[in-house]
Structure 1
Amino acid sequence: MTRRTTTARRRALALAAGGAGLALVLAACSDPDGEGGVGEEETSAASAEIDCAAYEEFGDLDGKTVSVYTSIVDPEGATQQASYDAFEECTGVTIEYEASREFEAQLQVRVKAGNAPDIAYLPQPGLLNTIVTNYPDVIKPAPESVAANVDEFWNETWKGYGTVDGTFYSAPLGANAKSFVWYSPSMFEDAGYEIPQTWTELLDLTQQIHDDNDGAKVWCAGVESGDATGWPGTDFIEDMMLRTAGVEAYEQWYTHEIPFNDPKVVEAWDAAGEILKNPDYVNAGLGEVNSIATQSWTDAGNGILDGNCWMHRAANFYQTQWPEGTEVSEQGDVFAFYLPTDQTDVKPMLGGGEFVAAFADRPEVQAFQTYLSSDDWANQKALATPDGGWVTANSGLDPNNLATEFDQYVAGVLADPNTVVAFDASDLMPGEVGSGTFWTGIVNWLTGASTQEVTDQIEASWPK
């Protein structure tokens, strides 16, 4: 597989810079009958703008099929698929997309049964490590064309997350930033509340809101996510680990240089519990503390829209979970602020992302891998996501192609070399822990178990 030429990439980016024109291209490919607001004349004009020269390196793939398995379900799944339209149109390949909320559990079942997809988007580097270790040679090393793209467009740290024992397997796809608190700007303004700048100020504000509103609960939360139930709670713990123990101890935690029940880890869980296990503060509009364990993460924050909830901690991609028509802006229905820290020398940002793993090395599979690792795809994906909620750390992304000011801000944070972005710890831990006992431990903790009990149980589960 040869690398896409610089000239071809620039042609694709020049097309991307057309903005609205390329948006019509994507709409035309995914909606050939003109439904959804794109008329026949617009479709024809937009289709003519596709510059297939940018895809010539991949050759003629007509009649070929590449299967993709992922946890990226609708509505994000729809925009993910739309970002493939130009690639499919120009190469003739068909991308068969399958998404499941039970992805983490089902992927390993399929691998063990010899029924792996051509490509899977792994949300945990720890899962990559587990599969490579337990099923040698099942995941194929990334081709040179993918490695070259990652070397050009990504910080070397990201390449390391897709590498196991010195072999580079998986290129990063999207990226996300998780250290945010969602709120209603109008509720804050009407009440005269300021955005807190430290963790202490955030706790003080929480108590003030509780007191000012006749003992109302302040925070809403939910960690239910099918077979992946518990993962949103791990994000809260990780955010607190960064804020109470610091980045160095955080790295020692996920590499198991310190045990999972180390006092620093216990302190971080207890700090999260100042909110999540406080019956005065949760679960606004939804129930008591234990209701967090059964409340779906996808709509746990909706109480902000109807005034039942004041704050909800969630990642930047929660933007896609708000009901249709919700305005996400500082003057709109909802917005988010940085989850503050009492630290004065650093502002850590908990991050995450997916990694493209290939279980086949046919030419069409490697072609799709290469496309997904390119700046071309990053810009296509941005333009295919008109409602926002997606970013990437790919440096070839033109931030002007992102749909919202919030997305542009997040992309800037991720791309800034001075930002301390700490990758999601549970995603870097062995799969048995990161997407196993850590998840179930969150549920046990929210339904009555103590911090010490839960952290002791998780430590005992760490692979020897």
Structure 2
Amino acid sequence: MSHPRRRPLVVLVLCLTLLAAGVVAGVRWAREWTGSVTVLANWSGDERAQFESAVKRFEEQYHIDVVYQGSSALSQVLAADLAAGTQPDVAVLPGPGELVAYAAEGRLVPLDGLFEAGAYDRVWMPKVAGADGRERTYWLPVKTGLKSMVWHAGDVQRGGLTALAGDPDGWCLAMASGATSGWPGTDWVEDILLQQAGPQVYAQWASGDLAWTDPRVRRAWRTWGEMVGAGSRGRVERVLEGEYGGDCPRQSLEHQGSFRDAHWKRVAGDFVHSAEVIPGARPDSAQWEVSGDLATMLNATDEARKLIRFLADPGTELPDYTANRKAAAPDGPGDPVKRRIGAILRGSQQRLCWDASDTMPPVLRNAFHQAVLRFLVAPEGLEAQLRSLQALNDGRRPTLPVCGAG
């Protein structure tokens, strides 16, 4: 038998329950959560999980909600947000190229006073000119990587490295990376120029003060072409189609960054400085290319400032390697490779130089990616490629310290 009069009572009870829950949630927010901060970055997978794990402690400590906004088209999204006035509170960009331009335009909020002076080397946190011409600090490294590395399996002897390096088939090389395909090739060209010509020439070129058609730049391209077999149709097709970060044959070498340590660990891998196998490298070459994800503040809110202070805290566990000299090393005693990488990134005896393409304007950087792909297919067209790149190199960029004693 039905009881039609009970339904309004049930509905009333349900409504009251939901209202009570809303009141409780409102009271919780009023008493505990004091605001929010939006963060734009391109992390996904493990990197995003590590970052969110790190900021969970920030949320619990300050009762500030961190709203993560992920995008693989980071530069385009940030540029559109800035144009619309809807920029995130904090953005994390791979490299200082765009940031130094945004700082000069007055788009960024200075970070001076939000981190401990002396905890970072000048190359990681330089002072650059703002819209008023005054030099301040505008970004903080939250994730760093080492380059100028040649990986090899643990059973490959030093004497065998030269033989492998002299054979194009001895290199594990792949260029495919979606919209940024070609960047592994730019790493090669940059590193060869750094090791052959030295940090001063390298910094001039990265800053736009040395022409792409300079003989030293041309030599770096040709050295790379000879090392990897540019123009060899069958090999180049495999290189262009292969996804970067794929498996490498055990008896091969890979010119790639520190993010590859997990792959090479499976074969007890190790690395040498790239200058050991690059033809024509300077005998005294000791420079390392580096990369980094840099956090910058775009809205001067209390919540954003607290997040920057938290990210600069040496006790905060961030993804990958830290450049904070006062932070505990992110590695254990059982991993000597990680210890070496961390020591180079944070040590005081090494010379560190930014990945050159990460310091370039987006249009030039993207053209560089495409140029290395064309060069692999048709190395005889190098001169035309260099002239095209030089046409995009107007040389009128805000100054940035590309190299510095790390």
Q: TM-score range by the shorter chain?
A: 0.7 to 0.9
Of 307, 318, 328 in structure 1, the residue corresponding to residue 265 of structure 2 is: 328
The answer to whether the 8 Å contact 1:184/1:335 transfers is yes
Whichever residue aligns with residue 347 of structure 2, its letter is D
Of the three residues 222, 235, 253, the one matched with 1:288 is: 235
Write the mapping of 1:178-197 to structure 2, written as runs, cut at 5 A: 178-186=147-155, 188=156, 194-195=157-158
- Closer, same or farther: CA 442–239 of 1 in aligned 2, 3 Å: same
Q: Is the contact made by 1:125 and 1:162 (CA closer than 8 Å) also made in structure 2?
A: no
- The Cα offsets for residues 26-61 of structure 1, whole Å up to 9 and x where unpaired, read as xxxxxxxxxxxxxxxxxxxxxxxxxxxxxxxxxx97
Question: Quick check: 1:101–1:227 contact (8 Å CA) kept in 2?
Answer: no
| Residue 62 (structure 2) aligned to one of 80, 91, 102 | 91
Contact 2:152 2:254 in 1 (8 A): yes
Structure 1 pair 236–163 and aligned structure 2 pair: CA distance change class (3 A): farther
SS at match of 1:346: coil
Q: CA RMSD in A?
A: 2.7
Correspondences of 1:59-458 after superposition (within 5 Å): 62-133=33-104, 136-146=105-115, 149=116, 151-160=117-126, 164=130, 165=133, 166-186=135-155, 188=156, 194-195=157-158, 202-207=161-166, 217-278=169-230, 288-299=235-246, 302-304=247-249, 307=250, 310-319=252-261, 322=263, 328=265, 332-341=267-276, 342-377=281-316, 380-381=317-318, 390-399=320-329, 401=331, 404-433=335-364, 435-448=365-378, 450-458=381-389
Work out which structure has the larger RCO, using CA pairs closer than 8 Å and 6 or more positions apart in sequence.
2
Evaluate the alpha carbon distance shift between residue 297 and residue 110 of structure 1 in structure 2; reply closer, same or farther with a 3 A threshold: farther
Number of aligned residues? 356
Q: Deviations over 1:77-128 (max 9, x none)?
A: 2212212221122212222223333323332233223332221112121111
Q: Structure 1-normalised TM-score? A: 0.70
Partner Cα distance (1:132, 1:91) in 2:
28
Distance in 2 separating the partners of 1:105 and 1:233: 23
Tell me which moved more, 137-146 or 86-95: 137-146
Separation in 1, partners of 2:389, 2:344 = 32
Q: Cα 1:436–1:66, aligned 2, differ >3 Å: closer, same or farther?
A: same
Give secondary structure in 2 for the equivalent of 1:288: helix
Q: Helix, strand or coil for the counterpart of 2:158?
A: coil
Partners in 2 of 1:317 and 1:367 — Cα distance? 29
Unaligned runs of 5+ in 2: 1-30, 397-406
Question: Which residue identity lines up with residue 337 of structure 1 in the other structure?
Answer: V
- Matched position secondary structure for 1:427: helix
User: Are the aligned partners of 1:121 and 1:355 in contact in 2 as well (CA < 8 Å)?
Assistant: yes
Structure 1 unmatched runs, 5+: 1-59, 189-193, 211-215
Give me the whole-angstrom Cα distance separating, in 2, the residues matched to 1:407 and 1:261.
Answer: 38
- Following TM superposition, by how much is the alpha carbon of 1:442 offset from its aligned partner in structure 2, in angstroms? 1.9
CA 163–395 in structure 1, closer or farther in 2 if over 3 Å, else same: farther
Quick check: 99-108 or 239-248, which moved more? Answer: 99-108
CA distance in 2, matches of 1:93, 1:460: 47
Identity of aligned residues (%): 21
With over 3 angstroms needed to count, the CA separation of the structure-2 counterparts of 1:367 and 1:114, relative to structure 1, is: same
C-alpha deviations, 1:370-404, integer Å up to 9, x for none?
Answer: 11122122xx22xxx6xxxx212210122265583
Partner of 2:402 in structure 1?
none
Change (3 A) 1:157 1:73: same
User: Cα 1:278–1:225, aligned 2, differ >3 Å: closer, same or farther?
Assistant: closer
Aligned partner of 1:41 in structure 2 is: none
SS at match of 1:84: helix
State the shift of 1:69 in Å.
Answer: 1.4
**Distance across 1 between alignment mates of 2:199 and 2:298:** 34
CA positional deviation for 1:355: 1.5
TM-score by length of 2: 0.79
Q: Aligned partners of 1:70 and 1:405: how far apart in 2?
A: 30
Alpha carbons of structure 1 residues 405 and 248: separation in structure 2 relative to 1, 3 Å: same
Structure with bigger gyration radius:
2
Q: Deviation of residue 360 (structure 1)?
A: 1.0
Letter in 1 for 2:184: P
**Counterpart-to-counterpart distance in 2, 1:406 and 1:202:** 18
